[in-house]
Amino acid sequence: MSDVTLYAHWICPFATRVSFALHQRKIEHDVFDLPPTGVRPKDFELPPEFLANSPRREIPLVRVGDQYQADSIPILLWLETVCPAPGLLPRSTDQRRRVIERVQWLDDHVMKPTGGVYYGTEPDRVEWAAGALARGFSEVARWLDDDHWLAGSTPTLAEAIMIPIYVRLESLRPLGYNHPLPSRVDEHRRACTELDGWSSVAWSPDQHAEFVARFEKYREITARG
């Protein structure tokens, strides 16, 4: 067994962040496939170590040796300190602060409206979330006018936050995201697909189809009350 274990599932965007970072940093690890609550079978038995170390009973969770850390952003920052592989945080204090600030901004202004698109059950709420996501992409495009990557000249943890959004972008269209992607953001998206960690998290056509079908069904059930 590897000294590092990731408890994750492909459909969870927060687990995708961590999976991408582990692969991008070439940190060898095992994966325990553990569905998030929304797709977890009722008879799924959670492992004892997960119950003991995941306060919200949600993925992702990472084990390094005999230590555990839950929640994606804390995990990403923790891994920078406990795993010696080349990191995704700059050495400069000012540059590190910039990356962390952008990680939080992306989480608030891009990740949250992304979830609002596919979890939305009413057309006006979906439209509002799509508009918020479009505004987030516009701000990201302005960043990319200054740098090739989101927080400097090399990929950082900010890319790890954007990766799950790019992964599911194709599935957002049928679920209500009808805004054009800014050209600079699309260039960045394509650059991300060439990173070492991308292939570990990219979805197959079947995964896209399953994702869309799952949320279309969710909307139908909600509409029926």
Question: 103 with 90: CB under 8 angstroms?
Answer: no
Domain boundary assignment for the chain: 4-82, 93-218
State if pTM tops 0.85: yes
Superfamily of the domain at 4-82: Glutaredoxin (3.40.30.10)
Tokens representing residue 120 in the block: 């939305």
Q: What is the pLDDT along the chain (225 residues), one digit of tens a residue?
A: 579 999 999 999 999 999 999 999 999 999 999 999 989 998 999 999 999 999 999 999 999 999 999 999 999 999 999 998 899 999 999 999 999 999 999 999 999 999 999 999 999 999 999 999 999 999 999 999 999 999 999 999 999 999 999 999 999 999 999 999 999 999 999 999 999 999 999 999 999 999 999 999 999 999 887
- Give CATH for domain 93-218: 1.20.1050.10
Do you know the residue count of the chain? 225
Query: From residue 39, how far is each of 22, 36, 56, 163, 216 by CA, in Å?
Result: 24, 6, 16, 21, 14
Which pLDDT tens digit goes with each residue over 185-221? 999 999 999 999 999 999 999 999 999 999 999 999 9
d(CA 179, CA 51): 41
Cβ-based neighbours of 88, under 8 Å, separated by 6 or more: 21, 24, 25, 76, 80, 99, 155, 156, 157, 159, 160
Query: From residue 121, how far is each of 108, 135, 140, 179, 204 by CA, in Å?
Result: 21, 21, 27, 19, 25
Query: From residue 113, how far is each of 96, 110, 131 by CA, in Å?
Result: 25, 6, 8
Taking Cα atoms as reference points, which of 110, 111, 89, 86 lies closest to residue 100? 89
